Amino acid sequence: MDVRVPAERAWALVSTSEGISAWFVDAHVVPGPAGSVTLRFAPGAEGTMPIQVWEPARRIRFGAAEGEPGRAHDFEVEATATGGSLVRVTDSGLADAEAEGASQGWAGYLGALKVAAEKG
């Protein structure tokens, strides 16, 4: 998804508590390569996942390690020549029956990310 904000702003939206909470669900991020991300979908419905990849301003992956079983969310941010950003999300480790629903859900969430990014 292309967003009309600098890569630093896009990175903040996918790697900080305030950023993720602005467009996805209530989140608490302990940043860094030994950090974690806790997502709260509703009271009593939350999960904490370790950060597997932490490349500031470029990539964050939390959940299962690459090549390991289990769910993971992987966000990549790339600056574009126009001063904006390209944000890519890979949601892995889903059962086939869940993949289509998750893809539709991410389309909505990424639309919310674009709105949050561009409104400042």
For residue 65, the domain's CATH number is 3.30.530.20
Q: pLDDT per residue over 42-61, tens digit each? A: 888 999 999 999 999 999 99
Model's pTM, two decimal places? Answer: 0.89
Domain that holds residue 44: 2-119
Tokens encoding 75: 């966000």
Q: pLDDT for 67-95, tens place per residue? A: 999 999 999 999 999 989 999 999 899 88
Q: Count of CB atoms within 10 A of residue 87's CB? A: 22
Task: Kindly give the residue spans of alpha helices, DSSP state H, lying in the chain.
Answer: 7-15, 17-23, 96-119
Distance CA 3, CA 9 (A): 10
Domain count, the chain: 1
